[in-house]
Amino acid sequence: MSSKPRFRLRALASVAAAFTAGAIAGPVVTAWAQDGSRAETYRLLNLFGDVFERVRAEYVEPVNDREVIENAINGMLQGLDPHSSYMNLRNFRDMQVQTRGEFGGLGIEVSQEAGYVKVISPIDETPAARAGVKPGDLITHINEKTTQGLTLQEAVEQMRGERGTSIRLTIRREGTATPIELSLTRETIRPQVVRARLEGNDIAYIRLTSFNEQTEVGLRRALSNLRSQAGSNGLKGIVLDLRNNPGGLLDQAIQVSDDFLDQGEIVSTRARRPEDAQRWNARGGDISAGLPVVVLVNAGSASASEIVAGALQDHRRAIVMGVKSFGKGSVQTVMPLPGNGAIRLTTARYYTPSGRSIQATGIQPDIEVLAQREDAQQNRERDREADLNRALRNDSSATGANARPPAPLPPLNLPAGVVQAVQRLPAEGAPAFDPTKPETDHQLQQALGLLRNMAAGQPQRRASR
């Protein structure tokens, strides 16, 4: 998840100055040196300079200085955690376009695992989704060239391109013996981040596919339209579907959470220095006027999705249903480097209102409901944040001035028998899930049943926090 750009750094210029002048200003050394003396920092920078010069002079083919330096920077950042990286000027501009809600390519949210590109989630109604790309797929080849050795940014850049151009992907999928070959045609991706419909004339179903600059505005518009469609009968509740939503902008997650809360903390972040901690609180005004809410999550719900689910769960403003979420509880800050792109650097962990860190643990649903019987029978679990190389640890057990123990969650206080009526597994012989047929979506159907049973019983009581 990327918060809005806040810093301007001159790392490349500082490194170059160190090589040419042999010295670095004291404050820069202080910022870079984690341990040891200033002399040790000079020695390590000289080591980098020596390697750089040998590569330039002796590599079997001539090298491009900028490419070598950018690769070194990217290696430094990607060695920290799975989400920090360097973006050259082109990639930085692409990222800015994407957060505005439009970009060119295939429509896949990806990470990197074991040297390969791993699919977090395909975006709805894109070439990738239509071709059958699934969360957890490993992209091993792009246009018959291996992705081994590519940085994540390089792989993403290869998958993007002009509208109408074709690309071939080779995919390795768990449970499939042979590689899957796909031929796709790139499109201008304008993902519809908010999808909404009326279920049974009484429940608003709203799916958020990602968090970009259009998300919160689209949510408000969707709920307003569904209220009008419901007419005089009114709505009995809202299903907010965050399944396979990989996240996005922090400020949009805060605004979406705020839309359903009248007061209280939404999320807080804790950085390396205690004085950099931040906290966001809700302002008055629940756009749903207190309607019961069920939030659907799964292993593809990450980052901004988990902020929303965690905030509404902690305040008992919503019931979280589904399976445990992805567990990405860190904040990446985009730091522009004038003339040289930007770095995406992990700068903080975030915490739910009760003080929980979900880093590498995820949001546990209030009511577990599996999508398929096979998930229980085969004990299948998708990879999550904790499975990624160099993932940050969960520091909930940390002590000190920068830590606080999480508060226990209040009870759900639902009408008698409502939870017991929820079926954890689809019925034996139930039809396979078809995204075009909501009646085959077991998790959704259980959420709808829960809301209708709640409406037939006593009102949901909220706990203050």
What residues act catalytically?
A: 303, 314, 328
The two beta strands, 145-146 and 138-142, are antiparallel
With tokens 């060695």, the residue in question is 79
The Cα 52–Cα 18 span in angstroms is 13
Contact assessment for residue 259 and residue 286, using Cβ atoms and an 8 Å cutoff: yes
First to last CA, the chain: 26
CA distances from 42 to 16, 76, 179 (A): 13, 17, 48
Element spanning 167, H or E? strand 166-172
The two beta strands, 330-336 and 342-351, are antiparallel
The Cα 403–Cα 274 span in angstroms is 9
The Cα 184–Cα 182 span in angstroms is 6
CB under 8 Å to 368, separation ≥6 — which residues?
A: 321, 322, 323, 424
Q: Amino acid identity, residue 141?
A: H
Question: Is 197 in a helix, a strand, or coil?
Answer: strand
CA distances from 83 to 69, 316, 460 (A): 20, 31, 39
The Cα 353–Cα 20 span in angstroms is 49
Q: Which one-letter DSSP state was computed for residue 186?
A: -
Measured over all CA atoms, what is the biggest interatomic distance in the chain, rounded to whole angstroms?
78
Q: At what angle do helices 152-159 and 89-99 cross, to 10 degrees?
A: 70
The Cα 294–Cα 311 span in angstroms is 13
- Residues in the chain, overall count: 465
Q: How many CB atoms lie within 10 A of CB 438?
A: 13
Q: List alpha helices for 167-239, DSSP H.
A: 215-230
The Cα 375–Cα 378 span in angstroms is 6
Q: List alpha helices for 351-432, DSSP H.
A: 373-377
Contact assessment for residue 158 and residue 142, using Cβ atoms and an 8 Å cutoff: yes
Contact assessment for residue 141 and residue 116, using Cβ atoms and an 8 Å cutoff: no
